[in-house]
């Protein structure tokens, strides 16, 4: 079986996606800076019958991220699905007039260099399979910039553009690229933004392979 790599895996959305895809027979590679967290989550998934392993990498370190994905490929098998969904740091969200050029370094590393490094690492394997899915998960500022969240507004917009370019370019190769916009916070128990509901949505994006940008909820909801 092939593998889904969840970049930014945590106990909320990442865990829910791992369970959802695991139920469909995927092996799961969990990638985050916190190796103890990914290892514990991998053990929990393994106990539930899902083949899963944790890998440590900071998305702001492209070489480390590529190395983690390479190891995941070696240990688990070809990565058919890549989900890029790390949670941005609070210091990325400064008001626009307080944001200097140096304040944008972190967000750009996080939301542009990281996704590019991840995609470039897994793309040869997807091409060898003849299929693949790349899923970008972003907040609402990717679509409607917020003056109090300048860093993520700028960087998410760039990530969105990169994803859209990939969507248009890779479709002919059987590789589907999609973006899920989640306005506001992920809320347990919410009818559309509960982690398990979002995981079902992401599974459907992988399965249906239709369109680039999708919304978990209306932006003005």
Residue 207 lies in a domain: yes
Q: Write down the pLDDT at residue 36.
A: 92
- As a three-state string, the secondary structure of 52-115 is EEEEECCCCCHHHHHHHHHHHHHHHCCEEEEEECCCCCHHHCCCHHHCCCHHHHHHHHHHHHHH
Rounded-to-integer distance, Cα 52 and Cα 32, Å? 14
Task: Decide if 220 is inside a domain.
Answer: no
- Is 118 part of a structural domain of the chain? yes
Quick check: is 29 in a domain? Answer: yes
- Whether residue 91 is contained in a domain is answered as yes
In a domain, 194, yes or no: yes
Question: How many structural domains are present in the chain?
Answer: 1
Mean pLDDT computed over every residue of the chain: 96
Q: What is the CATH number of the domain that holds 18?
A: 3.40.50.720
> pLDDT tens digit string along 122-170?
999 999 999 999 999 999 999 999 999 999 999 999 999 999 999 999 9
Task: Tell me whether residue 195 is in a domain.
Answer: yes
Q: Which domain does 174 fall in, by range? A: 3-215
Q: Does residue 180 sit within a domain? A: yes
**What was the pLDDT predicted at 1?**
75
């Amino acid at each position: 079986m092939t593998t889904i790599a969840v970049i930014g895996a945590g106990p909320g959305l990442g865990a829910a996606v791992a369970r959802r895809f695991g139920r469909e027979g995927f092996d799961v590679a969990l990638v985050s800076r916190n190796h103890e967290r990914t290892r514990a989550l991998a053990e929990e998934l393994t106990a539930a019958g899902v083949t899963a392993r944790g890998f440590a990498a900071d998305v702001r370190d492209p070489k480390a991220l590529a190395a983690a994905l390479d190891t995941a490929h070696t240990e688990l098998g070809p990565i058919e699905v890549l989900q890029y969904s790390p949670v941005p740091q609070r210091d990325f969200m400064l008001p626009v007039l307080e944001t200097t050029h140096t304040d944008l370094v972190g967000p750009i590393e996080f939301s542009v260099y990281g996704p590019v490094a991840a995609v470039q690492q897994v793309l040869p394997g997807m091409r060898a399979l003849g299929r693949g899915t790349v899923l970008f998960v972003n907040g609402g500022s990717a679509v409607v910039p917020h003056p109090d969240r300048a860093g993520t507004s700028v960087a998410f917009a760039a990530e969105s553009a990169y994803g859209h370019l990939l969507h248009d370019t890779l479709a002919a190769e059987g590789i589907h690229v999609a973006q899920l916009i989640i306005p506001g916070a992920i809320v347990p128990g919410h009818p559309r933004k509960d982690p398990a509901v979002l995981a079902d949505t992401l599974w459907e994006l992988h399965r249906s392979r239709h369109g680039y940008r999708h919304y978990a909820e209306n932006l003005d909801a």
